[in-house]
Structure 1
């Protein structure tokens, strides 16, 4: 659940530190005081869209932190991200240039991570949610979310994509058979040419070194012989000079031990000289002029140069190019295999149809259940005799299945249900939306539910029913609600007032928790406007008493 929200310099909020508790909490205040700004700030901490316009005027940045208790449902996600509970701190900072930074428990995080975690913590029902109910896509999404079909719907979308791609490959092969044949012949000829050459990875540098060695074999032999003569010849060689120097120092080292170090250096040089002579002699034995081998190396280099020019690549990349052409050839051969493409297309279609039928069956079962629950809720929301129905009509295969989803409603008894977009008034639509929100939230796994003025368009006795519905929901979830209805506010366990003031020409918003007396005053204000009377205060106290016990 949400434990605290800390807001700094967000829109018209200079600073707010709000502590939350379990159950049902409401926020109320005059129009324009900034009630919904609290929801916007929390949405930002949960990965919502941020921009420079959200920063309070004349300050460099906005800073928002939300503190949650980690629910069990988030344990797997936290483990995957190497994060730990039991407390979660989500922080978001936006600067004047619109740049955004985010952290989870002090660890830098992406907005995607905030959104993924936020989906496990909070469910926000916006004040305009009822308007989206008029859209077919929103109706289908709500049905799938309520029924737990979201993963099936995403899998079906992928199956549809796979089927479309398989069909496109088959269509391309059928329509461009001649072009594919030409491509196949060219690739086959190129691969055969390189198969004959058989370039090996790393062959080119080795070939260049071998050719250079064979081409200069005589000079290499002569140079090695000259070096051996200089190191160990019969007259004036390095070995003789080292031997003479060692003998001189050996006779003198008895008188001054300091010479022993130099004597050891000379001995090391003598040994190294002898090893070098041995190595050069072995090198000369192995290196013999080989005109045939040189001719083969020259010919191989010539063919590789020819191949490099033919395929417009460097000689050292011929092996990689050869493998790339082989891959293209295999793909082209597969593209010409109409039977294989047809089989792949049939498999993709079969997979899609199986998933679509399974999703359709699940949707139909959920539609019956959800329609019954909403119909029952309508009877308590001053829509006696009203009926809510969900029809699933067969349609051509699409990315979303084999059926369309449409919400139908009859506002009162004696009339057949008709599409929601054509018959529901604004007030009816708001009530149906609220019923759907409450019913869907009852099955939600997220611990915190937020309703941002979803009670717009209703009042009177209906508003009281709505308040009780939200209070009942608060027994299972933490419920936060921005409201303008005193009947709803009276049903809450806790009440915050949002007010605005002007300071130095700037409008600022403040949030204060209300005690029993100030809460009575706020309910009276919501009932009677700016003019307070004893009658409105008495009514407010009665409404609070009823809201807590009724």
Structure 2
């Protein structure tokens, strides 16, 4: 549930903090007051695209934070645990900073995050429905998506898409085998010769050979320098180890007189131990070294092989092993393409698997479409469309697709005795608004998100229809939290929390959001119904609208 929003230098907001309550929350205000301010800020916190227009004039950045509460066994809790972002407070803090340069940064519970992570958690928390959602009804895929979403067919649809993808992949492999048939054998012979030539160096490690050869090449200098070092450390008449021992004896006599001298004494002891170990190891290294001309000649020959092959295949000696593996993979792939008939069988098997899944999906969609159309019809009738009727029309596709076997159309009629026709052809703008609203409310009943945002979805309705919409949203708010921008007093009157957006003519201008008490709500409802002039009649009407909130729902 959304509990708090904080906006700093975001658009018209200077420093704005808003607490959001459970249930049905509405935002109202005059045109241009900035009613979309809260929703734009929320969208930014959910990872949506932003631009520099969101940064308040004269500021170098905008800072927005949205706070959500969640339950321990919720899907968002599982997401936070998976991404190691869970918080003992039981809250989710989403923060977005937008810079005037166009860049932005994001955090989830204080941890820097990517926009894709914001979007992932955002989809689990919030579902947004805009005033333009009615246009989605006219898009061909919408009826299919709506049936799948409302009827919980998403998993079946995904299975069909995967089966279709597998079928198409096998088709491409089969075609590749046919195309490669002509030059496959020649390429396989070439790869075989190349692999055979590199086989002798596969047991060798170029880096180790190069290092050992370098060490033998500089054997004399290494021994001279090591001997010099050992002599200075331990063998000379006045060597370093003796000098350090003498210094330690002198400091030891005073170590107890000063804490700092005590620390120095301990440091000297550690240094003495390290030098003694180094001297012993150096002596052991010198004793074990010997120059082997035959071994050096062997290493030189191996290096020559590496360099010769590297020149031949135009690469670096150290990557010959990687090249060998790449050629081996290519050869294995060509060998798999050896039998196009076997791949043809795989194409047929995957095709049949796809058809089985697609036929199942098509059938359950058809079975669900009838009751769903009846339910949609009954829901739309109460929005001043008493003769509304819906049907879903299934037409077989010429070629099956990843989405199934049939194209699905939503048919509609608003008049008794008139056959239902495609929605885009017969529905008016007002009818589309009401249909979109009902379909969104029905979808919202199925969503996992605990916060539903409706941005002026009641555009095109008024009067008693608006009252019904308000009751629909109020009933839905018994199960989820709703945040709604509205111009309809009948809708706003049904809310649990009423937020008023007001523009202040500061320099520069700013917007503020005020939570209204009951008396203030009545005055705002009167303004929404009566305009600028508020009189006793409009106030009484506003009070009556509020009283409807507490009457039994539909």
Q: TM-score range with shorter-chain normalisation?
A: 0.7 to 0.9
1:18 is matched with: 18
Between 418-427 and 331-340, the greater mean CA deviation after superposition: 331-340
Alpha-carbon shift at residue 465 of structure 1 (Å): 0.9
1:452 is matched with: 455
2:418 is matched with: 415
1:169 is matched with: 173
Alpha carbons 2:411, 2:423 under 8 Å: kept: yes
CA distance in 1, matches of 2:394, 2:81: 40
1:110 is matched with: 114
2:344 is matched with: 342
Aligned 1:310-325 pairs, distance under 5 A: 310-325=312-327
Aligned 1:471-486 pairs, distance under 5 A: 471-486=474-489
Aligned 1:221-370 pairs, distance under 5 A: 279=287, 283=290, 303-370=305-372
Aligned 1:507-526 pairs, distance under 5 A: 507-526=509-528
Alpha-carbon shift at residue 426 of structure 1 (Å): 0.6
> Judging changes above 3 Å, is the alpha-carbon distance between structure 1 residues 207 and 465 closer, same or farther for their aligned structure 2 residues?
closer
Between 360-369 and 408-417, the greater mean CA deviation after superposition: 360-369
CA distance in 1, matches of 2:478, 2:298: 89
Alpha-carbon shift at residue 455 of structure 1 (Å): 0.7
1:464 is matched with: 467
Alpha carbons 1:490, 1:548 under 8 Å: kept: no
> Judging changes above 3 Å, is the alpha-carbon distance between structure 1 residues 360 and 279 closer, same or farther for their aligned structure 2 residues?
same
Provide the secondary structure at the position in 2 that maps to 1:336.
coil
1:376 is matched with: 378
> Judging changes above 3 Å, is the alpha-carbon distance between structure 1 residues 151 and 43 closer, same or farther for their aligned structure 2 residues?
farther
Alpha carbons 1:375, 1:386 under 8 Å: kept: yes
Alpha-carbon shift at residue 403 of structure 1 (Å): 1.9
CA distance in 1, matches of 2:497, 2:207: 79
> Judging changes above 3 Å, is the alpha-carbon distance between structure 1 residues 523 and 277 closer, same or farther for their aligned structure 2 residues?
closer
2:197 is matched with: 193
Alpha-carbon shift at residue 521 of structure 1 (Å): 1.3
Per-residue CA deviation, residues 451-492 of structure 1 (Å, 9 max, x unaligned), is 111111111211111111111111121122111111111111
Q: How many residues align?
A: 504
> Judging changes above 3 Å, is the alpha-carbon distance between structure 1 residues 500 and 208 closer, same or farther for their aligned structure 2 residues?
closer
CA distance in 2, matches of 1:443, 1:174: 48
Alpha carbons 1:448, 1:479 under 8 Å: kept: yes
Alpha carbons 1:305, 1:315 under 8 Å: kept: yes
Aligned 1:528-543 pairs, distance under 5 A: 528-543=530-545
Provide the secondary structure at the position in 1 that maps to 2:387.
coil
Alpha-carbon shift at residue 128 of structure 1 (Å): 0.8
CA distance in 1, matches of 2:210, 2:98: 60
Task: Extract unaligned runs of 5+ from structure 2.
Answer: 239-248, 251-275
Alpha carbons 2:209, 2:299 under 8 Å: kept: no
Alpha-carbon shift at residue 444 of structure 1 (Å): 2.1
CA distance in 2, matches of 1:297, 1:89: 62
- Counterpart among 495, 498, 510 of residue 498 in structure 2: 495
Alpha carbons 1:204, 1:315 under 8 Å: kept: no
> Judging changes above 3 Å, is the alpha-carbon distance between structure 1 residues 279 and 69 closer, same or farther for their aligned structure 2 residues?
closer
Give the TM-score, by structure 1 length. Answer: 0.82
> Judging changes above 3 Å, is the alpha-carbon distance between structure 1 residues 425 and 202 closer, same or farther for their aligned structure 2 residues?
same
Per-residue CA deviation, residues 203-252 of structure 1 (Å, 9 max, x unaligned), is 57538957996x99xx99xx99x9xxx99xxxxxx9xxx89x89xxxxxx
Per-residue CA deviation, residues 100-145 of structure 1 (Å, 9 max, x unaligned), is 1112222222212221112222111111111111101233323322
CA distance in 1, matches of 2:81, 2:415: 51
Provide the secondary structure at the position in 1 that maps to 2:26.
strand
1:89 is matched with: 93
> Judging changes above 3 Å, is the alpha-carbon distance between structure 1 residues 508 and 310 closer, same or farther for their aligned structure 2 residues?
same
Aligned 1:100-139 pairs, distance under 5 A: 100-139=104-143
Alpha-carbon shift at residue 199 of structure 1 (Å): 3.6
CA distance in 2, matches of 1:372, 1:487: 27
CA RMSD of aligned residues (A): 3.5
CA distance in 1, matches of 2:475, 2:314: 75
> Judging changes above 3 Å, is the alpha-carbon distance between structure 1 residues 118 and 362 closer, same or farther for their aligned structure 2 residues?
farther
Alpha carbons 1:384, 1:413 under 8 Å: kept: no
Provide the secondary structure at the position in 1 that maps to 2:15.
strand
For the pair shown, the structure with the greater C-alpha radius of gyration is 1
